[in-house]
Amino acid sequence: MLAVLAELAVEPPRGFTEYPCSGTLVGVLEQSGCNVCFLDAATDPERAQLLISELSPSLPVVVLHPRNDADLILRCLRRGACEFIAEPAAEAVLGVFERLARTRADASHHTSGTVYCVVPGKPGCGASTLAAHLAIQMRAGGVNPLLLVDGDPLTASIGFQLKLKPEFHLDDVRRDWGRMDDDLWSRLTLSAFGLDVLAAPEDPATRVEVSRQFAGELVAFWRERYEVVVLDLPDVRTACECGFAMLADLLLLVTTNELAALQATSRGLQYLNGAGSDRGKTRLLLNRYTPATGLKREDVKTALSLDPFATLCNDYEGIQAALLDGKPVPQSSRFGASVQALCGQLGHGSAPEQRKPFRLTSLLHRK
């Protein structure tokens, strides 16, 4: 490839002699100003496909494979690869460049969907409630289409909050993945409050096995079809082991200002660092925040060495009333206003106008 690129008078590329760690390659290539990636998918197909999933939302990925392996090609396509080269030759590479140049204008009108992975620092921090309201608020703010996924088969909080009775769940998607298309996908999801919902199974004993390979193909599938995907997961370990933490654009780590929650969240951050997650993608959300009790926002920053991206009001009565009704908390409530402001911070709508009796500037803080 180096010889071919030199023959075509291409600027000397940024090269890697081995596969980089997950979560690091996108940043390196963006700093280098790269606009296309040639990736060897034959030496280690599993690691290569993880990298395709990470790279494809940011720049075209051209897969190098020395043999005509139809299964490998299909798997790479599902991850987001756009071209394949079996024999590095000047004519083949030049053809790739010409096709990429022709599709660049069309691609500029198509933006890959954003994936948010919502994870509690400690169970009971309200991460699922926040995930559901974040998705509903984004949809109300004009994000369309939008997908909300319940990735916690034990608690199934999303279905409970939205009063859904799902027939299908994530493991059904995995089972039918080989024949997945838009029609089948529409039958596996439910519609609620204007968004698509992939709920957790009704039976808490149901096992949902998500491999990193499947997660990568699934995220690529979602990005092509949804403007935003909100994925609710039970804990940091699950998010890392299945690969969603690395594949998501942002990991929203939800905690409260109670000591037990902060200790668990601190351990979760340690686990993320050890798992190779990009710390720059982590956003700390301080939920049920009441300055009169628990640690102050500044103390939370000191304890976790991470500045809270946002604080959300404690609105116990409002949330409980909404649960009983099977409806989202009103935007006019303290929690609803906090979520609306969070959407603005994430770039999906504007923060609500300040008005009495509360001040949003005291609820949410930018980095």
CATH of the domain at 82: 3.40.50.2300
Q: What counts of helices (H) and strands (E) characterise the chain?
A: 16, 11
Do 122 and 51 reside in the same domain of the chain? no
| Digit-coded pLDDT (tens) for 193-206 | 999 999 999 999 99
pLDDT of residue 316: 84
CB < 8 Å & 24+ apart, contacts of 300-309: 300/255, 300/257, 300/262, 303/262, 303/266, 304/262, 304/265, 304/266, 304/269, 305/269, 306/269, 306/282, 307/365, 307/367, 308/284, 308/365, 309/283, 309/284, 309/285, 309/345, 309/366, 309/367
Amino acid 121: pLDDT: 96
In the structure encoding, which two tokens stand for residue 121, read together? Answer: 């620092």
Q: Is the pLDDT reported for residue 82 higher than 80?
A: yes
| Sign of the torsion angle spanned by Cα atoms 351, 354, 360, 361 | positive
pLDDT band of residue 352 (cuts 50, 70, 90) is very low
Same domain? For 160 and 226 the reply is: yes
Q: What's the CATH code of the domain at 233? A: 3.40.50.300
> Is 326 in the same domain as 266?
yes
Q: What's the confidence (pLDDT) of residue 363?
A: 36
What pLDDT is attached to residue 349?
Answer: 63
Q: Give the rounded percent of residues in the chain with a pLDDT score beyond 70.
A: 92
Highest mean pLDDT among 39-43, 83-87, 144-148: 144-148
Residue 105 has pLDDT above 80, yes or no: no
Q: What is the pTM of this model?
A: 0.71
Q: Which amino acid is at 341?
A: A
Query: Are 206 and 242 within one domain?
Result: yes
Which of 108, 126, 153 corresponds to the end of one domain?
108
Domain boundary at 92, 108, 124, which?
108
Domain of residue 271 covers 114-362
For residue 259, being part of any structural domain is answered with yes
CB atoms within 10 A of CB 260: 10
User: Do 97 and 18 fall into the same domain?
Assistant: yes
Predicted confidence at residue 358, as pLDDT, reads 38
For residues 62 and 180, state if they share a domain.
Answer: no
Which domain-ending residue is among 108, 142, 161? 108
**Residue 355 scores a pLDDT above 80:** no
Higher local confidence (pLDDT), 362 or 303:
303
Cβ(271)–Cβ(238) below 8 Å: no
The residue to which tokens 């942002």 are assigned? 250
User: Is residue 329 within 8 Å of residue 133, measured between CB atoms?
Assistant: yes
Q: What mean pLDDT is predicted for residues 288-298? A: 87
* 120 and 104 inside one domain: no
The verdict on 92 and 202 lying in the same domain is: no
Note whether 228 and 352 are same-domain residues. Answer: yes
Residue 98 shares a structural domain with residue 124: no
With H, G, I as helix, E, B as strand and everything else as coil, classify residue 179. helix
Any residues with CB less than 8 A from the CB of 123 and at least 6 apart, and which? Answer: 234, 235
